């Protein structure tokens, strides 16, 4: 397990509040409402079966990666903390992405994600979480891919000076990849295992919350870089159309990365 996973999007913000305001960890109940804008580029994949040229020759099957233009995705989040325990949820609002295929034609795909996690602060600025993530990718009618599964996470922050702090969260998830009806690998499998990886690091700044929101306990802005990968395992790629049983196993990677800007208010 090369990464530990923290709840997407809001926990880093909440931890930044902890690092900047020691009183935050001492209180019993806090509610943090946050939003993040993630300027990201999505790289996905497709599979092409082998093509017979004649009775003895064929073109082998292949997988192809293609990337979208950068898009700004909106991610609202809500975190509740009582003592050292917390519950958090976030939503990657459905977003359209534009792609250009290998044939030069453009097409649009949509994606959305949901996260729900519970966690425990083992230290005032270090939390461990366990939760569930769901990812949906829609490439058109009858072409929806779904990834879902448990996530384990770890995140921390380190105060710097004058309201600034560093934050980071890393994660790993063991997911199930469900393909659209009629879409299979060369072995006829419509569902495979997939690994999920997340890494995000950045800088947080805590404002004077009372001056802006008298009822607020903390107001925090974050700027970071976020990368998440879905790695579908043991996908069978056909190597010979005349010998359908022949294949090679490969890992297919779906990656999304880019700068993120967040703002949260804690009450």
258, exposed or middle or buried, with CB in 10 Å at 0-12, 13-18, 19+?
middle
Question: What is the reported pLDDT for 14?
Answer: 42
Question: What is the reported pLDDT for 249?
Answer: 96
pLDDT by residue for the chain (267 residues), tens only, comes to: 333 333 334 444 444 443 333 334 445 899 999 999 999 999 999 999 999 999 999 999 999 999 999 999 999 999 999 999 999 999 999 999 999 877 778 899 999 999 999 999 999 889 999 999 999 999 999 999 999 999 999 988 999 988 999 999 999 999 999 999 999 999 999 999 999 999 999 999 999 877 777 888 889 999 999 999 999 999 999 999 999 999 999 999 999 999 999 999 999
Dist. CA 44–CA 137, nearest whole Å:
10
Would you say 242 and 56 are in contact if contact means Cβ atoms under 8 Å apart? yes
Question: What is the reported pLDDT for 7?
Answer: 39
Dist. CA 200–CA 260, nearest whole Å:
9
Question: What is the reported pLDDT for 143?
Answer: 93
| Domain-wise residue ranges, the chain | 11-266
Dist. CA 144–CA 229, nearest whole Å:
18
Query: SS3 for 217?
Result: coil
Contacts of 31 (CB under 8 A, 6+ apart): 78, 79, 80, 81, 266, 267
Distinct helix (H) and strand (E) counts, the chain: 3, 13
Would you say 247 and 60 are in contact if contact means Cβ atoms under 8 Å apart? no
End-to-end CA gap in the chain: 36
CATH topology of domain 11-266: Lipocalin (2.40.128)
């Amino acid at each position: 397990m090369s990464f530990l996973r923290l709840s997407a999007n809001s926990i880093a913000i909440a931890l930044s509040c902890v690092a900047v305001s020691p009183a935050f960890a001492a209180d019993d109940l806090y509610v943090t409402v946050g939003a993040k804008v993630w300027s990201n580029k999505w790289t996905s994949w497709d599979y092409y079966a082998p093509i017979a040229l004649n009775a003895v020759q064929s073109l082998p099957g292949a997988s192809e990666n293609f990337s979208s233009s950068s898009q700004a995705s909106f991610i609202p989040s809500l975190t509740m903390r009582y003592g050292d325990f917390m519950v958090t949820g976030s939503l990657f609002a459905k977003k359209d992405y534009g792609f250009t295929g290998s044939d030069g034609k453009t097409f649009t795909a949509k994606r959305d994600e949901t996260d729900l996690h519970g966690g425990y602060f083992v230290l005032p600025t270090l939390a461990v979480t366990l939760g569930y993530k769901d990812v949906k990718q829609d490439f058109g009618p009858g072409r929806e891919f779904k990834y879902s599964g448990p996530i384990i996470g770890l995140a921390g922050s380190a105060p710097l000076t004058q309201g600034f702090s560093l934050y980071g969260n890393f994660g790993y998830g063991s997911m199930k990849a469900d393909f659209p009806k009629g879409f299979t690998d060369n072995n006829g499998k419509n569902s495979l295992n997939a690994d999920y990886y997340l890494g995000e690091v950045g800088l947080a700044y805590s404002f004077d919350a009372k001056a802006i929101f008298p009822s607020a306990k903390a107001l925090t802005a974050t700027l970071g870089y976020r990368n998440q990968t879905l790695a579908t395992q043991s996908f069978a790629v056909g190597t010979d159309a005349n010998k359908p049983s022949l294949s090679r196993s490969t890992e297919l990677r779906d990656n999304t990365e880019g700068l993120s800007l967040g703002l949260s208010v804690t009450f």
